Amino acid sequence: DETVDAVYVPLPAALHAEWTIASALAGKHVLTEKPFTSNAAAAQDVADRTSGADVVVMEAYHTHYHPAVARLKEIIASGEIGTVTSAKATFHNPHPPSRDIRWNLALGGGTLLDLGYYPVRMLTELFGEEPEIASAWAAMHGDIDRHVKAELAFPGGVRGQVDSSMWAPRMLGASLRIVGTEGSIAMPFPYHPQFRKIIRVRGRDGKRVERVSARSTYSFQLEAFRDTVRGTRENETDVAAAVFNDTATTEIYTAA
C-alpha cells in the first residue's frame, strides 16, 4: 500500500520477527515492540534479512528515550559515586496464570521476555558491555517462567543482578540501585520514570533528590521514531542493539 509509510508491530513476541521482516521488505519503516524477538537466533535473522532494506527498523524500548536514562549515565560518568561496583534492577508485576499471551510458550510468553527484559536492558545500556551470565534461576508454572533471577558479570567489573516476576511472593514493584565506592544511586520505577519522577543520589558531596520529566516515555519514543525516519536523528534502539539484548536474555534462559 503506497499510502502506508510505517508499520507498528505490537504482536506477541514470537511473531515479531516474521512481521518485522515482511514490513521492512515491503519498504515500510518499522517500530517493533519489545522484546524485539523471542530469542537471539530470531533477532539475528531479522538483522540479516533487513540489512539491505532502506528503511528504519527500531525496537520500541521506550525507556531509553526518557531523559532520565541519559541523566543516570551522566551521574555515573561524573564519578560522583566513585567507581561502580554493583547494580540491581527489579521488575515485579502480577499477571495470574490465564489464557493471556504471557502464559503461552508458543507466542513467546514468560516473565523474562515480558518484564525481565527491562532490568536486563537497563543494566546493559548503563554499563555498555556484553555481560557474562554468572548464574541464573527460574521458577516455572508448567513450561512458562513466572519468576527469574540472574547475576551478570560485566567486563568492567560491575556485578549486576536482575530479578523479575509475574507470579511470585513479591507481586509488585520496580527499582534500580547502583552502588559505587563513594555512594549510590536509587531510582523507583526506572522503566517508566514519569510515574515517580525522581532519582536519589548519595555521593561524595552528600545526598540529593533530582526531579525528572513527567512526560511519557512513549511520547519521547514516538518523536524519536519520527525524527529517525526523517533522517534528523540516529536510530538509538536499532537492530544491532536488539540483537545484543536478545542474546543476553537467551543466555539467561540457557543458564537457568
Q: Which of 34, 73, 149, 197 is catalytic?
A: 34
Beta strand 183-188 with 198-203 is antiparallel
β-pair partners for 162: 89, 150
Q: In this structure, which amino acid lies at residue 110? A: G
Q: What is the CA radius of gyration of the chain?
A: 18
Rounded to an integer, what distance in angstroms lies between the CA atom of residue 20 and that of residue 58? Answer: 10
**How far is Cα of residue 188 from the mean position of the Cα atoms in its chain?**
16
Contact 139, 104 (CB under 8 A): no
Sheet holding 29-33, edge to edge: 6-9, 29-33, 57-60
Q: Based on the residue annotation, tell me whether 34 is a catalytic residue of this protein.
A: yes
φ, ψ for residue 209 (rounded to 5)?
A: -120, 125
Between CA 72 and CA 218 the distance in angstroms is 19
Catalytic residue positions? 34
